[in-house]
Amino acid sequence: MAIRTRNKLNVSFSMASMSDLVFLLLIFFMLTSTLIAPNAIKLLLPSSSSKTMAKQTVTVYINETFSYFVEEQQVEESNLAASLQAALKTETEGTVVLRSDKTVPVQYVVNVIDAINQLNETSKAKHKVILATSPKK
């Protein structure tokens, strides 16, 4: 009498579990790639339709003759960082609102941003600069 085994080995390969694994990996990478935000600087341009409001701590003005004013006090470019430090001495996360004329070259705006960055490095603060805009017509 020949003894037969009831459990036969199935030699075929099933791809169903492999395709499930591939779809799970695809979903995982799609979700993690959307969670990573690039480091970008968001600027508000002189004429804008956005209505971003922030609690302003200090206001810096640059007029059409390229003169700097910190809270309506005229300041030389060399003393800009010192006057901003005096105005922000009690704040650790202050907001500097920059009101610049449309005709002012970008370099003057960058000078204010550099002064705030220098102040952040020396005092270990997190001040930020917001460019004030007028509503779009």
**Residue 25: per-residue pLDDT:** 93
Asked whether the predicted pLDDT for residue 37 surpasses 60, the reply is no
**Residue 101: per-residue pLDDT:** 80
Q: How far is CA 125 from the centre of its chain?
A: 16
Q: How far apart are the first and last CA of the chain?
A: 99
d(CA 88, CA 79): 14
Q: What sign does the CA torsion over 33, 39, 40, 42 have?
A: positive
CB 64 within 8 A of CB 108: no
Asked whether the predicted pLDDT for residue 35 surpasses 80, the reply is no
Asked whether the predicted pLDDT for residue 39 surpasses 50, the reply is no
Q: What's the rounded mean pLDDT across residues 76-83? A: 86
d(CA 118, CA 16): 59
Q: Which of 25-29, 40-44, 64-68, 110-114 has the weakest average pLDDT?
A: 40-44
Domains of the chain, residue spans: 47-135
Instruction: Report the C-alpha dihedral over residues 111, 117, 120, 121, rounded to 10 degrees.
Output: -120
Q: Tell me which residue of 129, 125, 55 sits closest to 90, measured CA to CA.
A: 125
CB 100 within 8 A of CB 62: yes
47-135 — its CATH code?
3.30.420.270
CB 93 within 8 A of CB 17: no
